[in-house]
């Protein structure tokens, strides 16, 4: 009789425990099948994400930042908790690694590693790629109107935007990029500048405003497409998209050299979902995924096995299949003045 009563009591306790806690088990299981990705707004193709979710049952939660600075501030504030994958640009990788916020990669879990273009590896921001996987890349250059060029031949030089040429241009709207590019034009430097050089950079940019139609980092190509400007400062990804729509648009790298940006995949140190994260990363490097991303956004793929995706335009192909000699003329954009100086310079440039 006692045994029977104990069995009944145990059964009720088990039933109550199941009712109270089974929903939580289900929630925990569901939570473990999700990945939180912090990313740029125009780098991950939605259809690729949807297909990954369909094939694996893993839910991808996307949240977005608009600048590397925003990413760095958010990761520092949260110590990386709540994120399983991030996509920082080159210099942001170093800033996050220096803060101890990135997890060291297990390259044995990356099925594609041997196919990465070696020219994209071992740069200043992560010398042995302990923390970062090159995902996509692009270069800064000059978009131009081929129709205008036929009548008024354009020189392949940064002089086209920094010296009056009789036409208006569209300029970048990011002060870090603008000042780094101006310093490179004036002094062929990519490092910090002194006070005299800061003043000369500022004065040149104030003079340049006379022929700047607009400051537009993201849609400078629009000003060529609408025939408002024959020359714009832009990136290869934006110009490549427009070149597909408007045959009269071209893209050139000035003879003096230019700047490159590599977007990287990194795993925050606080993430506990490495298995799912590596599964997602390997999916992003499948041929179909890279093809879709290139068609949508125009960033160059980092794998040498996908060069057949690149269209026949010789200028674009030459960039993607850059030689080691070519890469020596590509530099990484860094902030070459103090944050306060940058702020003060940009206000003075814009208000004069």
Q: Which two tokens stand for residue 75?
A: 């990761």
Give the separation between CA 285 and CA 301, rounded to whole angstroms: 9
Q: Where are the domains of the chain?
A: 30-137+262-316, 138-260+331-351
Closest CA to 85 of 30, 136, 34: 34
Question: pTM for this structure?
Answer: 0.85
Burial class (CB in 10 A: 0-12, 13-18, 19+), 173: middle
Give the separation between CA 46 and CA 149, rounded to whole angstroms: 38
Give the separation between CA 263 and CA 89, rounded to whole angstroms: 5
Give the separation between CA 182 and CA 268, rounded to whole angstroms: 34
Task: Give the pLDDT of residue 244.
Answer: 83
Task: Give the pLDDT of residue 29.
Answer: 46
* Helices 287-297, 274-284: crossing angle, 10 deg rounding: 70
DSSP of 94-138: HHHHHTT-BPPP-GGG-TTGGGB-GGGSS-TTSTT-SS-EEEEEE
Is the CB of residue 220 less than 8 Å from the CB of residue 232? Answer: yes
- Per-residue confidence in pLDDT tens, the chain, 352 aa: 555 554 555 555 454 444 444 444 444 444 579 999 999 998 999 999 999 999 999 999 999 998 898 999 999 999 999 999 999 999 999 999 999 999 999 999 999 999 999 999 999 999 999 999 999 999 999 999 999 999 999 999 999 999 999 999 999 999 999 999 999 999 999 999 999 999 999 999 999 999 999 999 777 889 999 999 999 999 999 898 888 889 999 999 999 999 999 999 999 999 999 999 999 999 999 999 999 999 899 899 999 888 787 766 777 788 888 889 989 899 999 889 998 999 999 999 999 8
Task: Give the pLDDT of residue 181.
Answer: 96
Dihedral sign, CA of 263, 269, 270, 272? Answer: positive
| CATH label, 138-260+331-351, candidates 3.40.50.1220, 3.30.930.10, 3.40.50.150, 3.40.190.10 | 3.40.190.10
Give the separation between CA 147 and CA 130, rounded to whole angstroms: 47
Interior/surface letters 196-218, b for 16+ CB within 10 angstroms, e for the rest: ebbebbbebbeebeebbbbbbbe
Give the separation between CA 142 and CA 95, rounded to whole angstroms: 29
Tally of residues, the chain: 352
Strand pairing category for 34-39 and 59-64: parallel
Is the CB of residue 120 less than 8 Å from the CB of residue 216? Answer: no
Domain range 30-137+262-316, CATH architecture: 3-Layer(aba) Sandwich (3.40)
Same fold across 30-137+262-316 and 138-260+331-351: yes
Closest CA to 134 of 281, 234, 36, 278: 281
Strand-pair partners of 330: 258
Task: Give the pLDDT of residue 31.
Answer: 56
Is the CB of residue 224 less than 8 Å from the CB of residue 232? Answer: yes
Sheet holding 34-39, edge to edge: 59-64, 34-39, 85-86
Dihedral sign, CA of 36, 39, 42, 48? Answer: negative
Closest CA to 160 of 132, 141, 173: 141
Give the separation between CA 303 and CA 115, rounded to whole angstroms: 5
If you ran DSSP here, which 8-state letter would residue 340 be given? H
């Amino acid at each position: 009789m006692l045994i029977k009563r104990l069995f009944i009591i145990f059964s009720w306790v088990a039933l109550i425990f199941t009712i109270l806690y089974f929903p939580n088990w289900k929630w925990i299981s569901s939570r473990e099948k999700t990945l939180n990705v912090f990313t740029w707004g125009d780098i991950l193709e939605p259809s690729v994400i949807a297909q990954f979710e369909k094939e694996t049952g893993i839910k991808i939660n996307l949240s977005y930042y608009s600048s590397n600075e925003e990413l760095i501030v958010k990761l520092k504030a949260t110590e990386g908790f709540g994120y399983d994958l991030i996509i920082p640009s080159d210099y942001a990788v170093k800033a996050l690694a220096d803060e101890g916020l990135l997890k060291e990669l297990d390259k044995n879990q990356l099925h594609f590693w041997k196919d990465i273009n070696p020219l994209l590896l071992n740069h200043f921001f992560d010398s042995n790629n302990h923390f970062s996987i090159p995902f996509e890349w692009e270069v800064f250059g000059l978009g131009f109107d081929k129709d205008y060029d036929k009548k008024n031949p354009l020189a392949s030089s940064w002089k086209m935007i920094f010296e009056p040429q009789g036409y208006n241009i569209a300029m970048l709207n990011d002060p870090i990029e603008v000042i780094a590019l101006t310093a490179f034009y004036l002094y062929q430097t990519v490092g910090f500048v002194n006070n005299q050089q800061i003043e000369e950079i500022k004065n040149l940019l104030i003079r340049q405003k006379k022929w700047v139609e607009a400051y537009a980092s993201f849609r400078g190509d629009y000003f060529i497409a609408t025939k408002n400007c024959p020359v714009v400062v832009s990136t290869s990804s934006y110009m490549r998209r427009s070149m597909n729509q408007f045959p009269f648009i071209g893209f050139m790298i000035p003879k003096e050299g230019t700047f490159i940006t590599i977007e990287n995949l990194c795993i925050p140190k606080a993430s506990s979902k490495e298995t799912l994260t590596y599964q997602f990363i390997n999916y992003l490097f499948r041929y179909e995924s890279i093809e879709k991303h290139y068609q949508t956004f125009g960033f160059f793929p980092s794998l040498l096995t996908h060069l057949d995706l690149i269209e026949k335009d010789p200028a674009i192909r030459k960039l993607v299949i850059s030689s080691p000699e070519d890469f020596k003329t590509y530099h990484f954009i860094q902030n070459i003045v103090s944050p306060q100086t940058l702020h003060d310079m940009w206000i003075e440039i814009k208000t004069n």
